[in-house]
Amino acid sequence: MNLDFNILKLFSQGNGLLFLGAVIFILGLLMFLRQIINILNFYAKRSQPLARRMRLDLDQRILFMLISVILALLGTSLLLGGITMRTYVSFTRADQVGSVECLSWNAEEKFMVVSMATIEQGKIKTKQTFSLYGDQWEISAHILKWDPKVNLLGLHTGYRLNQIKGIYLDAEDETKRLHRAYAITPGKDWLWWALSRFDAQLPMVEAVYGNAVSQIAKPGDRFDIFVTTSGLSARRYKSK
């Protein structure tokens, strides 16, 4: 029972897919190299009479080479899936990913203090306080949508919270006034950076894009942040 739980936990975190993908990829690569060497050895003896058995051996080696390519591609897909599961949080509906409350706002300086909590699976993961400049606070995220056929492998639309910052309603203020931005999830999102440039060459990726939601700074206002298949949304908090 405990073993089954650990295995499921391992795969749910993406570690299992990474391990399985690496094993299959290496296996496919070794098979491919082995068949290349065999085929080269075969043609090195082409001056000799080609017996029927040798022709059959060549056909089998080509078949094994194709199988090795398929294994390598499958391993690559599993590796990508594992990396995604470790980098992104999967969701299939409207899931709450955070909450933001404006603690104070100075209208003259257009300076606000907000408290933000990130939420995963209904539980608070982090809670921080940020000092921002602007008329509104804004939260951005990276969204990764897989092709529906890939959902059969357990890969669903994923998100990664990116930044919280202040923005101005007036374009001139946006150009001239102070700005502050903070990373919600630390570190550069290399996966999103790569997929956003090569998604056209990857049939398993449907869309990769950035998305943001913002609200006016008003002390006491609290909004719950949700992510859906279309992006982020902010809903005013209602006490239960």
Choose the final residue of a domain: 87, 118, 136: 87
Domain extent, residue 217, equals: 90-236
Same domain, 112 and 23: no
Q: What are phi and psi of 47, to 5 degrees?
A: -70, -20
Question: Are residues 146 and 222 located together in one domain of the fold?
Answer: yes
pLDDT, mean of residues 44-65:
57
Q: Bigger pLDDT: 232 or 57?
A: 232
From CA 71, how far away is CA 47, in angstroms rounded? 33
| pLDDT at site 83 | 62
> What tens digit of pLDDT does each residue of 186-209 get?
887 777 777 777 766 677 778 888
Concatenating the DSSP letter of every residue in 110-173 gives: TEEEEEEEEEETTEEEEEEEEEEESSEEEEEEEEEEE-GGGGGGT---EEEEEEEEEE-SSHHH
Residue 35 and residue 105 share a domain? no
Contact 79, 25 (CB under 8 A): yes
- Calculate mean pLDDT across residues 107-125: 92
| Domains: count for the chain | 2
Does 108 share its domain with 74?
A: no
Do 205 and 147 lie in one domain? The reply is: yes
Tell me the C-alpha distance between 144 and 88, whole Å.
Answer: 8
Of 45, 68, 87, the domain-final residue:
87
Cite the beta strand spans of the chain per DSSP E: 89-90, 95-106, 111-120, 123-133, 136-146, 158-167, 181-183, 205-216, 222-228, 231-236
Beta bridge partners of 112: 105, 132
The verdict on 117 and 30 lying in the same domain is: no
Residues 96 and 83 placed together within one structural domain of the fold: no
Q: Are residues 97 and 202 in the same domain?
A: yes
Give me the count of residues in the chain. 240
- Are 13 and 68 in the same domain? yes
- pTM of the entire structure? 0.61
Low-confidence winner among 30-34, 82-86, 167-171 (lowest mean pLDDT):
82-86
Q: Which of 65, 87, 109 is a domain's end point?
A: 87
Shared domain for 113 and 196, answered yes or no, is: yes
Considering the domain architecture, whether residues 222 and 155 belong to the same structural domain is answered as yes
